[in-house]
Structures are given as structure tokens and as C-alpha cells.
A and B are shown apart, each in its own frame.
Chain A
Amino acid sequence: SQELEQSPQSLIVQEGKNLTINCTSSKTLYGLYWYKQKYGEGLIFLMMLQKGGEEKSHEKITAKLDEKKQQSSLHITASQPSHAGIYLCGAVHSGGSNYKLTFGKGTLLTVNP
């Protein structure tokens, strides 16, 4: 979706390093969802954010939604090879159909041992 921009498109990090992936919307978000996908496999739900300023964590992954609800970041601390994959942000935008969930182009993460 052109309404959602992810950056960077790809990222290569050394094991143990921290990293951040960003997702920016041109419109106010009603809800923001982060998914992970291993190559050739299905999508795994990571986290959902709905409130401005909201922050959620699971193991070494933290996701935040800014106060204006137009940008989200996904931060991985002390990356491991198991974190490698494609990270996708998906969003439901305010003012439109609350059922229409569109995605960014994804960020390909490689973690070198």
C-alpha cells in the first residue's frame, strides 16, 4: 500500500546488535499491526497497537505507536539469527473502512552469526 511506507527495505546486522524498523502512514491510523514472515512461509502476528503513544513488548521485540498515530517503530534488542525474516506492518486507517487492512512493502532482516 502506498499509504504505508516501511524503512529500511532491507537490513543486515551482526548478531547481538540492536535494530529499528519504521512504518509511516500518510493518514491517521485506527490500528497498526506488526507481522513477521519466514521466507516461503505464512505470517506470524507479533503485536497490535491502537492508542497514541502505546508501547508493547514481547521478549526482545518492542513496538511503539507515536502520539499522532501516524508512525510506528519496531525495535529488536540483541538480535539473534532467529529474528531473521520479513517484517511487515499492516494498518487500518481512520476515516475509511474499519475492516480494510493494508500492508507496507516489508523489511527484509538478515542477522549474521
Chain B
Amino acid sequence: NAGVTQTPKFQVLKTGQSMTLQCAQDMNHEYMSWYRQDPGMGLRLIHYSVGAGITDQGEVPNGYNVSRSTTEDFPLRLLSAAPSQTSVYFCASRQGDQPQHFGDGTRLSIL
């Protein structure tokens, strides 16, 4: 099993550009989520989904959009990138009460 796959691993954007971070899982998990990790801030929840067609906001949703058209995929969209969105982004999936599986992360720099 591949688990949770994130692409790309690294990306540099200019302010104002748009981009989609991809996330796919092959474990048929209901729950998927996106986090950002900044120094000293731990993991902060951006958006999450409890199933195909259902998404909800986390702690820091502003500037990000998500959709969940299939169980497997949960892309994160930055419509107009800002320097404050420079971060490491992690996608995760989980089934019920089981431990959450994380992808390897995407390092995003916005100039």
C-alpha cells in the first residue's frame, strides 16, 4: 500500500499565483484532513472532510479551498498565494478511531 501520497514535495510560488496541492490515499479512509506546520506552532488544521462531498473548516481555513469528489482524493487549493502561506503542508487520513496516517509533506515557499 502507498498510504497517503502528497505531490509535489517542494514548490516555490510567486505572490498571487494559484496552486493545488494533491493528496491521495489508497486505504479507503473516510476522514481526510490538511494541516500546515510552522516553527513553534505545531500542526494547525486547515480543512477536513468526513467523506466524499463533505468538507468543513479547521482552525486556519482562510486562503485555502478544498473539495472531496472521491474517497481517495482531497486536493488543497491556494487561489492567490501570499507569503504568509509559506509552510510545510501535511495531508492525513483516518478511519474511525484508528490512528491518523500522514503523508510526507509538501514544502511550499511563496516569494
List the interface of chain A (C-beta within 8 A of B). 1, 6, 9, 31, 33, 35, 41-43, 45, 48, 50, 88, 90, 92, 97-106
A63 to B: closest C-beta gap in Å = 13
Q: Can you spell out 5 A-B residue pairs with CB atoms less than 8 angstroms apart?
A: A35-B102, A43-B102, A92-B97, A97-B56, A99-B94
Interface majority SS (helix, strand, loop, mixed), chain B: strand
Asked, given contacts A48-B99, A101-B100, A102-B59, whether A42 binds B105 with beta carbons under 8 Å apart, the answer is: yes
Cβ–Cβ < 8 Å partners of A31 in chain B: 97
> In the bound complex, what is the Cα–Cα distance between A90 and B33 (angstroms)?
13
Residue of A nearest to B42 (CB): A105
* Contact present for A104 and B42 (CB under 8 Å): yes
Task: State whether the Cβ of B45 lies closer than 8 Å to any Cβ in chain A.
Answer: yes
* Contact present for B59 and A1 (CB under 8 Å): yes
